[in-house]
Amino acid sequence: MGQPVIEKTLYKVRVVEKGVVIDITGGLRLGESEQAFRQQVQELLDSGKRNIAVNLGAVTFVDSSGIGGMVRAFTSVNRAGGKLFFFAPSKMIRQTLKMVRLDTVLSLYDDEAAAIAAL
């Protein structure tokens, strides 16, 4: 038996005309990755960035903590008077969000262009 593979989640922030994009690569799950996501969103809010689009295209896995982090981030941005949109979820992530009925709460877009246009 080999060692368990520990996947490191990476976050890259890009400034676009109407706001910022957070590109997530890896899993959004209990522990460091979910905390880092919420911290990244809070840092953007603290720096005055209120319109945020989150790229889920390279997210490999989301657990209940990751979903909770998405909801908390969405709530924090809305309370700050901003907009938080998610885009390019995989079929599995879209189905997971639909299963827990968050597809009707969170703003989901098929691609980056649509999400940025809505910011």
For residue 5, tell me if it sits in a domain.
Answer: no
Place of tokens 């996501």: 37
Question: pTM of this prediction?
Answer: 0.92
Number of domains in the chain: 1
Question: Could you report the per-residue pLDDT of 14-28, keeping only the tens digit for each?
Answer: 999 999 999 999 999
Backbone angles phi and psi of 48, in degrees to 5: 95, 0
Question: Could you report the per-residue pLDDT of 55-111, keeping only the tens digit for each?
Answer: 999 999 999 999 999 999 999 999 999 999 999 999 999 999 999 999 899 999 999
Domain with 66, as residue range(s), is 10-118
For residue 38, give the CATH number of its domain: 3.30.750.24
For residue 2, tell me if it sits in a domain.
Answer: no
